[in-house]
Amino acid sequence: MKDIKQPKHLIFLGPPGSGKGTQAKMILEKWPMNHLSTGDLIRDYIKKGEQGDEVGLQMKELYDKGVPQPDGLIIKAVREYLKTLDLSKGMIFDSFPLSEQQAYGLDDIRQDFSMEEPIVLFVKISEAESVNRLSLRKYCPQCNSVFGPQSANYQSGQCDKCQARLITRSDDNPEVVGKRYQEYIGRMEALKKYYQPRLRWLEINGEQSVADVQQEILTKLQEFHQNRG
């Protein structure tokens, strides 16, 4: 395939176990873009909260109570984080936005930072596939790396980055995964209605090999740019 133009900004979305994080990392290897993962961002702000950061303190208080982070606080954290980046390099939003309210917030941020509208890549898998993948995977409790059955780390039961023993998460049992999947799909329907009329929503078949998923992403990005001259 002829080398394609780097997109300015991308949003990676997908149900639990879809591999969207892996695909985002592969794009980062191809293009030197900035990367924002809301999960990592929340963890970083919670650490900052221990040092007195205002946003971090609010997040830490909610986290300690087991309360989900509200949209407004997530949007505020994203805005503050973007202030520290060179946005001319482009941006990958990994699992943001996750609600229609967050999408509105991102539009406000884009306007304030003079950012082009991002392309949404929705890596789609079935509930059965989500349950199957998550029930098999293992985590490193120290660096949060995820390993599937085919990896050497999975076979050894040890993370090669920090040498910690791998664990299976309690919320990766089939019943819990099924509920998480249905909740996620409900959110995505709202976001699809938000982005599809703008012709910014690209669906990717996530039930392929990692390499084939990446190839489909690049093909659809190329088609996107060709259709817009």
- Of these ranges, 91-100, 127-136, 144-153, the one predicted with the greatest mean pLDDT is 91-100
In three-state secondary structure terms, 155 is helix
Helices (H) and strands (E) in the chain, counts: 9, 7
- 97: preceding bond cis by omega (within 30 degrees): yes
Confidence of residue 229 (pLDDT cuts 50, 70, 90): low
* Cβ count near 169 (within 10 Å): 14
Tens of pLDDT, residue by residue over 161-201, are 888 998 887 767 788 888 889 999 999 999 999 999 988 99
What's the number of CA atoms in the CB half-sphere (13 Å) around residue 74?
23
At 2, which helix (H) or strand (E)? none
Comparing CA positions, the residue from 113, 129, 152, 114 lying closest to residue 15 is 129
Confidence of residue 70 (pLDDT cuts 50, 70, 90): very high
Query: With 90 as the cut, is the pLDDT of residue 133 above it?
Result: no
* Cβ count near 198 (within 10 Å): 10
Comparing CA positions, the residue from 123, 122, 116, 110 lying closest to residue 7 is 116
Top-confidence residue, 33 or 227: 33
Query: With 80 as the cut, is the pLDDT of residue 223 above it?
Result: yes
Contact 106, 93 (CB under 8 A): yes
User: For residue 34, which phi and psi values (nearest 5 degrees)?
Assistant: -75, 155
**Model pTM?**
0.86
At 159, list the tokens.
């993370």
Residue 109 has a pLDDT of 96
Tens of pLDDT, residue by residue over 11-62, are 999 998 899 999 999 999 999 999 999 888 988 888 888 888 888 898 888 8
Please name the fold of domain 9-126+178-227. Answer: Rossmann fold (3.40.50)
